[in-house]
Amino acid sequence: MSKIMLDAAEIRMSYGERCLLKIDQLRICESDRIGLIGENGAGKTTLLRILAGETPPESGTVRRFVPTAVIHQEGTGNPGEDPGEDPGVRARFRAQADSGSLSGGEMTRNRISGALSSHPGVLMADEPTTDLDQEGLMLLRKALTEFQGAILLISHDRALLRTLCNRIWYLRDGEILDFPGGYDDFMIERDRRMDRETFEYEKYRAEQKRLKESAQRMAERASQVKKAPGRMGNSEARLHKREWTDSVLQLSHAGRTIRNRMEHLEAKEKPKALPEIRMKLGVAHPVEAKTVLECTCGLLRAGTSELLCDTGFVLPTGSRTALIGPNGCGKTTLLRGLLDQSGSGIQLRGKVRWNPAVRIGWFDQHHERTMNPEKSILENVMEASVYPEHVARTVMARLGLQGYAVFKPLRLLSGGEKAKTALGRLLLMDCNTLLLDEPTNHLDLFTMEELEKLLVAYGGTLLFVSHDEEFVRKIATRIIRFDGGKLVTTEGGWEEMKRPAQTKGAAADRSLEISRLEMRMTVLSARMARPAKGDRPEQLQQEYLELARSIRALKEGK
């Protein structure tokens, strides 16, 4: 039997009148790779913090038998704050001190490095892929795969969940549903349970309807039983009264039996079924021309950093274009430059020609600034909507905000719920071209799937930035990639972009391995300059020379 690393019992947590968590028992063992999933606002981060000992529950106990570390969603993760940090891990993830200008991906690398440096027995990670580029994702996946302890992971990266997890915890209505197996196994089982719940609900409604109709027929028959006429003789009247009484009693008894069955009929809740959208969004005022944008970029600069030079691209009408590249290459800067947001230290020299018919919708990573925190979700959405309320509520339902949830004021929402509101607001506006900067950040897996469907069916033009490979794969019909200060366009989406790269795969792998070995040499150089207690200088020197030979062989293609 696997060693128990963490045990929790009778965990209870509430916010106001809402019971957020009511979990009887949870257990993490040494071989577990657990994916914790659930809708936005379900309490995933709260549960993780309780299990890590960062937030006390209202009641219940958590016993941790090994050291625990957490990769948080936010914070700079400034390296060097903990003297026990592993310099090798820091070098591997290129962790760097916070100079006040770190990108989102750089801060994520710092947070990952800080947690892994402590070499915990249980590693908990809350959306560790946020803002990471492809190289960062590869490093993270490799580190988590090689990790020797147990892992509890909150992530919307489906590829990571598939690769890593052997168990899924689904947090729903405050309780944990434990699914053995990986993410795909969970999805199959979830769909199977949904089909079963739908069948049982329909069966329950059919039986409920049948019993109601039977009770109504009994009542009608009882009302139709005639009393004895006044002109009838006494003996006949007594006989008729006895027959009438027997009939009424029989019908009343049958009616009571039916009502009793109705009262004891096990109620079944209607499964959450998302409504379909009956109209195509983004076509209120279509662009008739072949292109919505032509950009010739002589120079793109952010502060003192030159990001692009003598390059450009076009945006065909109706296309769905993903803008991809490593952290810090200038994706968000380019989007801001296209919108002429030069006040934020951005300089774009060249020609940016938008078609006059274009109506732009912009999803900033700081989307909450565009909404009123005192107004409800529905009020914020309808404020700019060109569609009627029933369409707006259908869109919001598909984004995971159903029923009375749309009347909650914005200031009470989680980050994911605010993102859903901002996305719904954009989709319902009088826009025919959307520019989206990391639209999937903070969204739960189920909302991401629905957003994918909405964007695939969108009637306008999309230009979006995303590090989520599966999201890009499903949405994009073309790719614009940052490559050495140039923009390289691939028609045909993700698969087409990857096809020519397959022949260069070995060279790319060599380049990544050379970078890794060079970082290791840097660490060794620092240790040789200042040997720590227990270091053997001759051994460090030998390893350094072996690394140098390996790098030379890789560069020569041997």
Q: What is the pLDDT of residue 494?
A: 82
Phi, psi of 413 (to 5 degrees): -85, 155
Residue of 470, 502, 476 lying closest to 489 (CA atoms): 476
Domain assignment of residue 277, yes or no: no
Separation between Cα atoms, residue 112 and residue 322, nearest integer Å: 26
* DSSP code, position 342: G
Residues 106 and 85 in one domain: yes
Please give the pLDDT value at position 541: 78
Is residue 145, in this structure, part of any structural domain at all?
Answer: yes
Q: What is the DSSP string of 199-219?
A: HHHHHHHHHHHHHHHHHHHHH
| Pair of tokens at residue 204 | 């329950």
Strand 461-465 versus strand 320-324 pairing type? parallel
Do both 10 and 124 map to the same domain? yes
E strand or H helix that includes residue 115: helix 104-117
In 3-state terms, what secondary structure has residue 4? Answer: strand
Residue 286 lies in a domain: no
| 485 and 519, same domain (yes or no) | no
Domain region containing 378:
291-492
Q: What is the pLDDT of residue 251?
A: 56
68-71/175-180 β-pairing: unpaired
For 248-376, list the strands marked E by DSSP.
291-302, 305-316, 320-324, 346-354, 360-363
In a domain, 282, yes or no: no
Angle, alpha carbons 204-206-209 (nearest 5°): 110
Note whether 155 and 204 are same-domain residues: no
278 is a domain residue = no
Same domain? For 234 and 175 the reply is no
Does residue 320 sit in the same domain as residue 217?
no
Per-residue pLDDT of the chain (558 residues; tens, 9 = 90+): 678 999 999 999 988 778 889 999 999 998 899 999 988 888 899 999 999 999 999 999 999 999 999 999 887 665 555 556 678 888 888 877 765 667 777 888 889 988 998 889 999 999 998 888 888 888 999 999 999 999 999 998 888 898 899 999 999 889 999 988 888 888 888 778 777 777 777 776 777 777 677 767 666 666 655 454 555 555 555 554 555 555 655 656 666 676 666 666 666 666 666 566 666 788 888 899 999 999 999 999 888 889 999 999 999 999 999 999 888 888 989 999 999 876 667 888 899 999 999 999 999 877 777 888 899 999 999 998 999 999 999 999 888 888 888 999 988 887 788 889 999 999 999 999 999 998 988 888 888 888 998 899 999 999 999 988 889 999 999 999 999 899 999 988 888 877 755 544 556 567 777 777 777 777 777 677 777 766 777 777 777 778 777 887 777 665
Q: At what angle do helices 415-428 and 445-456 cross, to 10 degrees?
A: 10
β-strands 33-37, 150-154: how paired?
Answer: parallel
For position 383, which CATH number holds? 3.40.50.300
pLDDT at residue 312 in the model: 92
Distance CA 301, CA 324 (A): 18
Number of domains, the chain: 4
Backbone angles phi, psi at 548, to 5 degrees: -60, -40
CA dist., res. 419 & res. 512, Å (int): 35
How far is 104 from 112, CA to CA, in rounded Å? 12
> Do residues 323 and 437 share a domain?
yes
- The DSSP-derived string for 393-436 is HHHHHHTT--GGGGGSBGGG--HHHHHHHHHHHHHHSS-SEEEE
Is 497 part of any domain?
A: no
Q: Are residue 508 and residue 484 in the same domain, yes or no?
A: no
Task: Point out the domain boundary residue: 471, 492, 513.
Answer: 492
Judge if 21 and 157 occupy the same domain: yes
Angle at 479 between CA 476 and CA 483, to 5 degrees: 150
* Pair 327, 250 in one domain: no
- Same domain membership, residue 252 and residue 117: no
Same domain, 461 and 353: yes
Six-digit token string for 146: 């090689």
Q: DSSP character for 387? A: S
pTM (two decimals): 0.70
Q: Of 229, 246, 264, at which residue does a domain stop? A: 264
**DSSP secondary structure letter of residue 368:** G
239 located within any domain = yes
195 CA to centre of own chain: 24
Q: Which of 135, 162, 181 is the last residue of a domain?
A: 181
The answer as to whether 211 is a domain residue is yes
